[in-house]
Amino acid sequence: MIIYLCLNCEAEHDIHCLYPGSGYVNYCPVCGSDRIQRLKEVFVDSRKVLYSGGKNDECYTPAEGVMPILEYIPKGKIVWCPFDTEKSNFVKLIDNCIFSHIDNGQDFYTYEPPNWDMLISNPPYTNKRKIFERALSFGKPFAMLMSNTWLNDAAPKQLFYEKDLQLLMFDKRIKYSNNGIIQNKITFSSSYYCYNFLPKQIIMAKL
């Protein structure tokens, strides 16, 4: 597997994509830049690739990024936050919330709490397709934050081909924090990618 480095936002990733009409061009799935450099080739088994982490996997959502989704949670519903600990702003701000996290041995790919109604979180950016596949497999409503550049990929179109993708979009970029530091130079905008969650397909909200 070839690992690429984005010279713009410094994300590391392992995919390349086709831009129509321009041949194969590597671009960053996080910020969309085509300033991509081949970094290294690694030889690992596919299971390790599936679970390997990227640099942007530890970006934490500020309260202002959680607030806009709160009004769409029906009263009394149990919300599962599967990428969260008690420190998460999702966990702090959602009333009827249960949470799980890989650090507590609760791997989203294998773990599911016994009783929940809808899923909300900001998942890791590594293996987006697998994460959304798993979320869709439950058949329950979900809302997950993801970069808008992901819409350039084939994956969301294929995954939502027969399902209505809903988007809660924002007027500004969410400033995530990393290692306790708020990222003021966020190079990408994000939306909640939702399934069966919003009252209409696209909603524009103010941060």
Ligand X SMILES: C[S@@+](CC[C@H](N)C(=O)[O-])C[C@H]1O[C@@H](n2cnc3c(N)ncnc32)[C@H](O)[C@@H]1O
The candidate with the shortest Cα–Cα distance to 109, out of 193, 52, 178, 177, is 52
Q: Which of 93, 109, 112, 155 binds ligand X (CB under 6 A)?
A: 109
Q: If binding is defined by CB under 6 A, does position 88 make contact with ligand X? A: yes
Which of 9, 13, 32, 60 lies at the binding interface for ligand X (CB under 6 A)? 60
Instruction: Count Cα atoms within 13 angstroms, Cβ side, for 155.
Output: 18
Give the chain's radius of gyration (CA, Å).
Answer: 17
Residue 58 touching ligand X (CB under 6 A): yes
Binding of ligand X at residue 59 (CB under 6 A)? yes
Residue 34 or 153 having the CB closest to ligand X = 153
Kindly state the smallest distance separating residue 60's Cβ from ligand X, in Å: 4
Q: CB within 8 A of 70, min separation 6: which ones? A: 93, 94
Contact between 83 and 101 under an 8 Å Cβ cutoff? The reply is yes
Q: Which stretch binds ligand X (CB under 6 A): 32-40, 41-49, 103-111, 186-194?
A: 103-111
The single residue among 9, 31, 61, 149 that binds ligand X, judged by CB under 6 A, is 61
Answer for the pair 78, 117: CB distance below 8 angstroms, yes or no. yes
Site for ligand X in 36-55 (CB under 6 A): none
Name the site residues for ligand X (rule: CB under 6 A).
57-61, 82-84, 88, 90, 101-102, 107-109, 121-124
